[in-house]
Structure 1
Amino acid sequence: MSATDIDHGAGLVVVGASLAGLRAAESARQAGYTGSITLVGDEFHLPYDRPPLSKQFLKDGAEVDFHTNTEELAALDVKLLLGEPATQLDPTSHRVRVGDSDWIPYEKLIIATGASPRSLPNTPDLDGVFALRTIDDALALRERLFPGTKLVIVGAGFIGSELASSARDRGADVTIVEAAPIPLVRAVGETVGQALAKLHERNGIPLLCDVQVEELIGTTHVEAVRLSTGTSLPAELVVVGVGAAPATRWLADSGIELHPVDGGVIADEFLRTSLEDVYAAGDVVHWPNPAFDGLSVRLENWTNAADQAHQSAVNAVTPGDAKPYETVPYFWSDWYDSRIQFVGTAVADEVVFASGDPETDKFVALYRSGNRLVGSATLNEQRKIMKLRRIIANKGTFADALELLDPTEKKS
């Protein structure tokens, strides 16, 4: 369906047809919005769940969970415009350009375009080199992963680590290359990042840290990866997982305030941007999180995308009842039959392994700032993480967390 096939009224336009975009459209209807809603997405697929792409879908071909279908969207009276990206925002005339020519008027706009994978600089365009963001990326990669396939993963973040686990289960010969001395520092800090890195070694996957990729070698197809150490790794496939940048290039001439470092959209506590009637949600947005005294953050996880999109939509369509968006971040990741979970923030004065052992496959790490508990990371301790999240949400103390883990522990 093309833009010229649709008669768009000036209603709510949501740019980004993934989890956040869909939740925004649903939440606007639940809040009583009766105007037109248009959902714009650059993929031809209906909104689907991305986390399994590096896990079950890649490992054993499990079906991708589509969050909705055309019948449900029709019942919500949501108009779909798929397969064409938004390319321009004109706030003066309240219009969004889709593709090369079509403009859609909006009364309210929600930006939910997420983040796009970063690429390696100065590398040739070779067959066999992948990023992993879409269902099409995962399908193309899965079709080439066989027992014995030499796979080099660039980046030991959560996506790269999940991919390593899945590829190993498919029998691939996997090596991970990480530029940082310790992986996952921004997400979980140095102490826990170091502990999680050992999971790769215990599961037979080489992890090369503090090593740069100098060159991808090959004529038409990748054949090897040359490293800053001077060595070369044979490679039939290379997956680049070096992080993602907010997908905001289409906003460059709009006048919207963007973050000076990563180009993400800057919003206030109500998820309002610097442009009138324009809100933002999901991986794309920086906002001051009241849960941590207004610390400005941008979160890339499933839980935040869903919850933030809900509040963004409600605030957009019922601005008189707008509420600040406050959350204790929560995310999870599955590696080698282990479940990693994290709540809160990794910005802390101290990190303590309060139970278990970082050298084994079970632990609880607590993050302390002053006397407050501000974060927790767990490995294979699923029953404890949400209780710790509640302590953080209630601005509880480090002693509260210790007492939760060991009721005989006396509060100081």
Structure 2
Amino acid sequence: MSAPGSVLVVGASAAGLATAESLRRKGYQGALTVLGDEPHLPYDRPPLSKQVLSGAWRPEQTQLRGRDVLDALDAEFVLGDPAVALDAATRAVTTASGWTRRADAVVLATGIRPRPFPGAEDLRGVHVLRTLEDAVALRGELAAAASVVVVGDGVLGSEIAATARGLGGAVTLVGPQAAPMANQLGRQVAELLGRTHAEHGVRLLLGAAVDGLTEHQGRVHGVRLDTGEVLTADVVVVAIGSVPVTDWLEESGLVLDNGVVCDSRCRASAEGIYAVGDVARWHHEGLGAMVRLENRTNATEQAGAVAANILGEDRPYTPIPYFWTDQFNARIQVHGTLAADADVEIVEGSENDRRFVALYRKGGRPTGVLGWNMPKQTRLHRQALVDAADRSLTLQR
């Protein structure tokens, strides 16, 4: 298979930039275009809920590469112009401004958008967090807020609650789970995370459903629970999940189902079209399942696999999933998958010391490793997952 004469990457965030960089690093010399809906040069999103929101970083510090490095890619960056249509048969992308470009290979890296709270989109004081503008706007309001309610107890909601509490206001975290990030960490570690939040002054109202928001003169005034209780709030942050940005692809002819559906090579359902990052839902041969991962590490690793397959390597993408989160004095790192019914064993350190590594097993087989303030030891225990994955792929062959 010869290299395509031109590649168009739709999406100029981490996954899109990493795809362009991987192509050049692997020797691709053809025409390369990166199209982005935001006006900014590519920037990193994980710091938005931590360093930018806390004020430790200036917004420009999130930029992934300097202008000189981007220029050296010899790529055309078309920014601030969102894609609105794709003709999959001709691989032609059209933007909101009417700009149209056809390419021999198209990489979809449009990511996700936050799920808004129904009916609250125009209510002042209600925020979501996805973009640099979102972080700057929320930071400005948190500085003066006496009371903050975070709706959503997953990774993002928990991080925002921790950062907001660090700024000194009264913070309440509301969500349906029994403990913060229970779906991502399992009950045992999530309960420890909940205790950590409580020790730092976050009020936890978990296992609770939000019935609506109250307002006064167009500004949010509180959060109403299904019990009838109303939580006073100067600022409400909504972190109730996200949706893949695929609405612009609905007439494209591609198969869409919780993302762009791809095979194990991250190829979409039309010739010459690939997907990468948060928007890609692909067949993971090692897990034997369709997978879509929303994390920074996957954006980079999957970009390398997509670039390789565009250039003819024809290899499946079978990562060991990984994500991390920093909250208060805890750095939590997770490799693999942590099933709710997994057997959990502390293999190094102790929960009491808030420094430990936990191994998750299901049916006797290692499926995940979690580290709490033990990064080096966590990486070492990851090898058990690599060995298990290798055995699984060998048996499948």
Compute the TM-score of the two structures, normalised by the length of structure 2.
Answer: 0.91
- 1:53 and 1:123 map into 2 onto residues whose CA distance is 22
Aligned match for 1:302, one of 283, 296, 303: 296
2:94 maps to 1:101: no
Task: Tell me the residue number matched to 2:7.
Answer: 12
Aligned counterparts, 1:11-410, within 5 A: 11-63=6-58, 64-123=61-120, 125-146=122-143, 149-218=146-215, 219-259=217-257, 263-292=258-287, 294-316=288-310, 318-319=311-312, 321-347=313-339, 349-358=342-351, 361-395=354-388
- 2:342 and 2:213 map into 1 onto residues whose CA distance is 40
Secondary structure in 1 matching 2:100: strand
Task: Tell me the residue number matched to 2:394.
Answer: none
Contact 1:110 1:313 in 2 (8 A): no
Question: 1:78, CA displacement in angstroms?
Answer: 0.7
The C-alpha deviation readout for 1:16-65, integer Å capped at 9, x for no partner, is 10010000001111122221111111111111111111111111341333
Secondary structure in 2 matching 1:270: coil
- Structure 2 unpaired stretches of 5+: 391-397
- 2:145 and 2:349 map into 1 onto residues whose CA distance is 35
The C-alpha deviation readout for 1:303-345, integer Å capped at 9, x for no partner, is 11111011112211x12x2211121111111111211111101
Q: 1:352 is matched by which residue type in structure 2?
A: E
- 2:104 and 2:249 map into 1 onto residues whose CA distance is 18
Task: Tell me the residue number matched to 1:4.
Answer: none
Deviation above 4 Å: which 4+ runs of structure 1?
Answer: 355-360
CA RMSD of aligned residues (A): 2.0
Secondary structure in 1 matching 2:208: coil
Rate the CA distance shift 1:396–1:23 in 2: closer, same or farther, 3 A.
closer
Question: 1:187, CA displacement in angstroms?
Answer: 2.1
Rate the CA distance shift 1:36–1:370 in 2: closer, same or farther, 3 A.
same
Question: Share of identical aligned residues, percent?
Answer: 40
Contact 1:372 1:396 in 2 (8 A): no
Q: Which range is displaced more, 344-353 or 45-54?
A: 344-353
- 1:19 and 1:43 map into 2 onto residues whose CA distance is 13
- 1:149 and 1:314 map into 2 onto residues whose CA distance is 51
Q: Which range is displaced more, 281-290 or 110-119?
A: 281-290
Contact 1:54 1:162 in 2 (8 A): yes
Number of matched pairs? 383
Question: 1:358, CA displacement in angstroms?
Answer: 4.5
- 2:35 and 2:121 map into 1 onto residues whose CA distance is 32
Secondary structure in 1 matching 2:141: coil
- 1:379 and 1:170 map into 2 onto residues whose CA distance is 23
